Structure formats: structure tokens, C-alpha cells
Amino acid sequence: METNTTRQFELTDRLNSVLGHLKEKFVGKDDIIDLMGICLAGRENLFLLGPPGTAKSALVRELSKMLNGKTFEYLLTRFTEPNELFGPFDIRKLREGDLVTNTEGMLPEANLVFLDELLNANSAILNSLLMVLNEKVFRRGRENKALPVVMIAGASNHLPEDEALQALFDRFLIRVRCDYVDPALLNNVLEAGWKLERKEIAGQPKISAEDIFEIQRLIGTVDLNDIRPAYINLVEMLRNAGVQVSDRRAVKLQRLIAASALLCKRAAAIPSDMWVLRYIWDTEEQIEVIAGIVNNLIQPGAAAPQQHPRAFVTTAPDADEIYKEITTMAEQWEDASLPMGERTIIKDRLRYLNGRCEWITNEVQRRYVQEPIDALWQKILHSA
């Protein structure tokens, strides 16, 4: 038993080391990186939503460098054909009357799969992708092959608009926004990027696909009994709020709760492990609603030991903090001696805070913050 525990800790340390290395390279992306770790451990799919240039592809590529395994990456278009993902038919076998796919170097042989612009998928590949995403199985004609994939990540700059693509999106249990980094962290981003360019970030950790498979097999050993009543309550609260949590999704989410406990080296889940449910939204309008429900349920357990570092980190905007910052910026703008560079920084920061203000769910608080933002914009426009 002690040997098994030692092995488990060794594996989780290895995965946490990979995640820590990614955080060192990608400033301001801790939430995405932690979710990558959860999805790796739980063998679930991860969807990244964000505009171009927000490091969606770079994050997955950097992870692939630390994974001793095969990686498959593809940019989907409306004209992507099945052969481009799964491989062509083997001509030699075809002459013999057998329809066999030559999958060498293609998706069916990959341990890590990244599908960029996922929602450009067309009807020709849709059914094959649904099978891959849902069952981790490749089927084509009489071929039936279990996939050696540890995680599938998809990315897009928009959410699905038609029903067929909604089915594809639904196969990604966890969804996370990948935004531009807070301007206040831009200097850290530039420093990390320059170190990466100059290859100054040394000691890159490695983990094998077999190690991750072993972690995934350990998921079933985590005890969920103590948190199940709270979990049932949370699912009911989310459903009452209009969030579609099907029975299938509710069952699968248990694996991710267990993954949170496992990465914290615990044999049993605690209420704060349910933080992963913040990321099951279907629309951007649901993000703050779901976060509020989840946070209210897990906050009473804040003193629990060995909690996941993401458990009590909230990305929800604080209306009072934004108001104070806007007030300070307005006072700085009135200073006639303020250098042009500082004025540019204020403009950039104001744009960022204006975007954050849109995610304040309380309408009264949102108006309370929006008024000084609008007033400062007017001052800036009149001084131009």
C-alpha cells in the first residue's frame, strides 16, 4: 500500500511540475493551465475560447514538448476532409478489397490532440469527430480502434451557432476563456516571452503518456462519498438556474472532481474540489452566474487542508476595487505634468476595466462602476 502511495505521489508531482513550468512561461494563464492538468488527469476534453494572439495554440504546443508521446495538431476549415485528420485509405489493402486507413502520423495514433478553429468542422467529419471525442474510439467502415489519447483540446474564437456544431461543442466538458493578459501584467509577459525566445527557461520537466494513463487509472480510487450530497445539491442549483447539466455530464464531472483531489495528493474529495464546475458554461452569459453558484457552495470549506490552488481563486470582477482604481486614474489624468507614456497606460488600462465591468452580474454595481468609466472616457476624448 505504501509503495502504491509513493508511486501515486511521484506521478502527481511529475504532472504538477509540468503545470508549474507552463505557468512560468505563460504569465496570467494559470486558470487554463490548471484546467489542462485536470483534463489530463480526468481524460476529458478542454475547449479554449478566445481571440487570435491569446496563446491558445502556444499553450498546447508547449505542453506537447513536455509530453513523451505523439501529438497531432490541425487547423480545421469548412473544407477539411476526413483523410486530413484520420489518414488516407491504404492503397495496397484497397487493391486487395480491404478498406483500411493508413493512420501513421495522424489523429488516431496521437496521445495529445489539438483541433484549432474546431467549430469550422463540416458535416463530412462531424460524425467521426463526435465518436472520437465522446468514446475515444476511431471507427471507419469495419475499422474499430481505441485511441491512445490522453487529452483532446479544441479552440475557437466564437461559440457554436448551429445545432450540429452545438453537438460537437457539447463533447468538451470543460470550457475556459483565453483572454488578453491584464495590462498590469504585460511587463511580466514580455519578460517571460523574451526568456523563452532566448531559451533561458531551463530544466524543462517531462512526463510520458504512460504516466498520464496511470494517473487516469488512479481516478477511480478517489473517495467521493463525503461530497456527493453537496455535489447533488450543486447540480440541482445549476439546473434551477437554467444551466444544462445532463445526467451524462453530471456523471463525467465526478472524474474531474476526483482529479482535483488526486493532484492535491488526497484519497478523498472535499467540497472545494467542485471548483471545476465553474467551467461548464454553454454561453458567455453563464460564466459569472455559474461561478457565483459554485463559489457560494464551496466557500464554507475554505479552511480545508491540501485544497487545490484554483479552488478559491475567483476571476469575477470586484466592483469596489474597479471603482477605486478608476477614481485614482481620473485624478492622475487631471495632472497636466503626466507624461504621454503614462497617459497611454491609463487608456489601455481603462479599456481593460471597461471590459471587466461587463462581467459584473449585479446591475446596480455595474452602473455604479460604469458611470466613472464613461466620465473618464469623455475627459480623454475631449483632451485628444
Query: Last residue of some domain: 271, 301, 331?
Result: 301
Query: Last residue of some domain: 301, 331, 354?
Result: 301
Residue 94 — very low, low, confident or very high, per pLDDT cuts 50/70/90? Answer: low
Instruction: Tell me if 343 sits within 8 A of 333, measured CB to CB.
Output: yes
In the predicted model, is pLDDT for residue 366 greater than 90? no
- Residues 6 or more apart whose CB falls under 8 angstroms from that of 104 comprise 87
Give pLDDT tens digits for 274-313: 999 999 999 988 888 888 889 888 876 555 667 888 887 7
- Looking at the structure, tell me whether residues 137 and 253 fall in a common domain: no
Supply the mean pLDDT for the chain.
87
- Looking at the structure, tell me whether residues 188 and 46 fall in a common domain: yes
In the predicted model, is pLDDT for residue 352 greater than 80? no
- Looking at the structure, tell me whether residues 185 and 60 fall in a common domain: yes
Q: Is residue 205 part of a domain?
A: no
Q: Is residue 223 part of a domain?
A: no
H-type alpha helices, the chain: 2-25, 30-42, 56-66, 82-86, 91-95, 123-135, 163-170, 186-197, 209-218, 228-240, 247-263, 286-298, 319-333, 340-357, 363-383
Q: Distance (Å, rounded) from C-alpha 320 to C-alpha 46?
A: 33
What is the average per-residue pLDDT within 101-129? 92
Q: Is residue 234 part of a domain?
A: no
Instruction: Tell me if 17 sits within 8 A of 192, measured CB to CB.
Output: no
Query: Last residue of some domain: 142, 172, 197?
Result: 197
Q: Distance (Å, rounded) from C-alpha 99 to C-alpha 80?
A: 21
- Looking at the structure, tell me whether residues 73 and 139 fall in a common domain: yes
What is the separation, in whole angstroms, between the first and last Cα of the chain?
71
Give pLDDT tens digits for 224-234: 999 999 999 99
- Looking at the structure, tell me whether residues 264 and 292 fall in a common domain: yes
- Residues 6 or more apart whose CB falls under 8 angstroms from that of 306 comprise 264, 265, 266
- Looking at the structure, tell me whether residues 18 and 160 fall in a common domain: yes
Least confident residue range of 2-11, 31-40, 206-215, 263-272: 2-11
Q: Is residue 144 part of a domain?
A: yes
- Structure-model confidence comparison of residues 314 and 10, the more confident one: 10
Q: Is residue 94 part of a domain?
A: yes
Q: Is residue 209 part of a domain?
A: no
Q: Distance (Å, rounded) from C-alpha 71 to C-alpha 148?
A: 11
Q: pTM here?
A: 0.80
- Looking at the structure, tell me whether residues 170 and 120 fall in a common domain: yes
Can you give the pLDDT at residue 54?
A: 87
Q: Is residue 231 part of a domain?
A: no
Residue 172 — very low, low, confident or very high, per pLDDT cuts 50/70/90? Answer: very high
Q: Distance (Å, rounded) from C-alpha 263 to C-alpha 257?
A: 10
What is the average per-residue pLDDT within 54-66? 92
- Domain that residue 281 falls in: 239-301
What is the average per-residue pLDDT within 324-339? 89
Can you give the pLDDT at residue 105?
A: 92
Can you give the pLDDT at residue 262?
A: 95
- Looking at the structure, tell me whether residues 45 and 162 fall in a common domain: yes
- Looking at the structure, tell me whether residues 93 and 126 fall in a common domain: yes
What is the average per-residue pLDDT within 67-77? 95
Q: Distance (Å, rounded) from C-alpha 276 to C-alpha 254?
A: 10
Q: What CATH number is attached to the domain comprising 16? A: 3.40.50.300
What is the average per-residue pLDDT within 136-150? 88
State the total domains in the chain.
3
In the predicted model, is pLDDT for residue 141 greater than 80? no
- Looking at the structure, tell me whether residues 102 and 32 fall in a common domain: yes
Best CA proximity match to 253, nearest among 318, 193, 172, 199 = 172
Can you give the pLDDT at residue 93?
A: 65
- Looking at the structure, tell me whether residues 355 and 280 fall in a common domain: no
Can you give the pLDDT at residue 1?
A: 45
Least confident residue range of 33-37, 230-234, 354-358: 354-358
- Looking at the structure, tell me whether residues 10 and 121 fall in a common domain: yes
Instruction: Tell me if 19 sits within 8 A of 62, measured CB to CB.
Output: no
Q: Is residue 228 part of a domain?
A: no
Q: What is the DSSP letter of 334?
A: T
